[in-house]
Structure 1
Amino acid sequence: MVEAVLFDVDGTLVDSTYLHAVTWWQAFRQRGHPVAMAEIHRAIGMGSDKLLDRVLPDERDRAGDDAMRDAHTALYAQYWGRLQAFGGAAELLRECKARGKRVVLASSAAEPEMRALRAALDAEDAIDEATSASEVGQSKPAPDIVELALERAGAPAGRAVFVGDTAWDVEAAGRVGVPCVGVLTGGWSRAELRDAGAVAVYDDPRDLLARFDESPLH
């Protein structure tokens, strides 16, 4: 029986993937790095350290990295008050809660950003626990966030399910033996998520909610 459902937030429950892509694109350009938006998109879901290494693999200096992170944070923060949850996202969390499952937001967002994401979700009554960037050593696709979310849920890996929107989510969950359910809301294809190891893929939170009883969450 599934005792806990762990949810990625950015791109899975809240429609933020492309906002991250465009604000990273702006941050890179400010530092003289013209990077294609599509390339940035494929790295969204990683932590900023891994994203920078993937998108800008050439030698960089720490000051430049910090400047790009700060620029991205400032640019993205302009959207915090306008973030929107995907249709069915809050209802999906509440359905999990109503079925007796622990609901944990497994996010590597920083605390101020996490508050904005939770405000957009507007489902505090259904959330048992949450994680943040400051609490783990490494970001996805490292498994640290998933391990912490499992600890917060008080459930073993075999009785939890992770819900995410990128191959990085699938990889992070798989490293600790947690099956991952994918959603297409982050711009990754069904085939890509399946190939990464997702046990099932749904269009969006509303689709997963509608098919809850036949899903791995049940």
Structure 2
Amino acid sequence: MTKPVTGVLFDVDGTLIDSVYLHTTAWWQAFRQYGHDVPAARIHRAIGIGSDKILDHLLGEQHDTGGDDALRAAHASLYATSWTSLRRLPGAQRLLETCADRGLRNVLATSASKPELGALLRCLDADPVIDTVTSADDAGESKPAPDIVEVALRRSKLDAEEVVFVGDSVWDVQAAGALSIPCIGLTSGGLCAAELLDHGAAAVYADPQDLLDHLDEALTTAFRVALTSV
């Protein structure tokens, strides 16, 4: 990479907002409503995949898709009941503010639907320092496909060579990696550091506050890894 970093792409669920386990519970309940006994641990590990793919991932590509729309609707309804329980992860707001203070552009690239995104943004309460926002409705395919990341780059007028991605799931790492964007992983979504590193994360921190405390180190490490992988 020859360009200086000018932007940071952020996932939201599990990265800036503590919502992964709320999603897990909502999906678990929705599956049970429609006669599917899917272990919560499997659901948790799938969070970050968009609703257009998560049912195939958890029920198999050969499952009867006739009830998929009802399942997605059930999840959305159940998850909506927990919106008042959403909380920012430690340091999330300040991390965005610090990046903006440094002249970096904050871009949100999430697989959340627009209604969910509205609830997340209200919880995050950082609109003045967010440059660009994209959601699942803006892309053809959700993560781990890179579509949402591509839309985020296009709308923010940033190049892949001048950004880093911050996410909490292997799906974030894969989506960023498809565009050769270095990904900084956070374990705040419930995955361990080793798994994120094994899937290609350039560096891993505990949560937004930990990343903020080591921001210079994180950006330097991310770009050093990206350079050596070219």
Q: Which category of TM-score, normalised to the shorter sequence, fits these structures?
A: over 0.9
Choose from 126, 130, 145 the match for 1:127: 130
List gaps (5 residues or longer) in structure 1.
none
- Please tell me the residue identity of whatever aligns with 2:197: R
Choose from 102, 105, 126 the match for 1:102: 105
Describe the shift of the 1:103–1:58 C-alpha distance in structure 2 as closer, same or farther (beyond 3 A).
closer
TM-score normalised to the size of structure 1? 0.97
1: CA distance, partners of 2:199 / 2:20: 19
- State the Cα deviation string for residues 53-112 of structure 1 (Å, max 9, x = none): 111006333430011000000000001122101010000001111110111110121111
Q: Which residue of 1 aligns with 2:181?
A: 178
Matched, 1:197 2:190: no
Choose from 67, 76, 86 the match for 2:89: 86
Superposition pairs of residues 1-150 of structure 1, within 5 angstroms: 1-57=4-60, 59-150=62-153
2: CA distance, partners of 1:206 / 1:156: 26
Q: Which residue of 2 aligns with 1:155?
A: 158
2: CA distance, partners of 1:197 / 1:60: 31
Q: Which residue of 2 aligns with 1:215?
A: 218
1:155, distance to aligned residue in structure 2 (A): 1.4
1: CA distance, partners of 2:65 / 2:197: 36
- Please tell me the residue identity of whatever aligns with 2:117: M
Secondary structure at the aligned position of 1:49 is classed as coil
2: CA distance, partners of 1:199 / 1:25: 32
1:137, distance to aligned residue in structure 2 (A): 0.2
1:158, distance to aligned residue in structure 2 (A): 1.1
1:153, distance to aligned residue in structure 2 (A): 2.1
1: CA distance, partners of 2:71 / 2:96: 34
- Please tell me the residue identity of whatever aligns with 1:47: G
1:115, distance to aligned residue in structure 2 (A): 0.8
- Please tell me the residue identity of whatever aligns with 1:6: L
2:164/2:184 contact within 8 Å kept: yes
1: CA distance, partners of 2:61 / 2:148: 27
2:184/2:204 contact within 8 Å kept: yes
2: CA distance, partners of 1:108 / 1:47: 5
TM-score normalised to the size of structure 2? 0.92
Secondary structure at the aligned position of 2:107 is classed as strand
1: CA distance, partners of 2:115 / 2:218: 33
1:161, distance to aligned residue in structure 2 (A): 0.3
Percent identical pairs in the alignment equals 56
After superposition, the CA RMSD in angstroms is 1.2
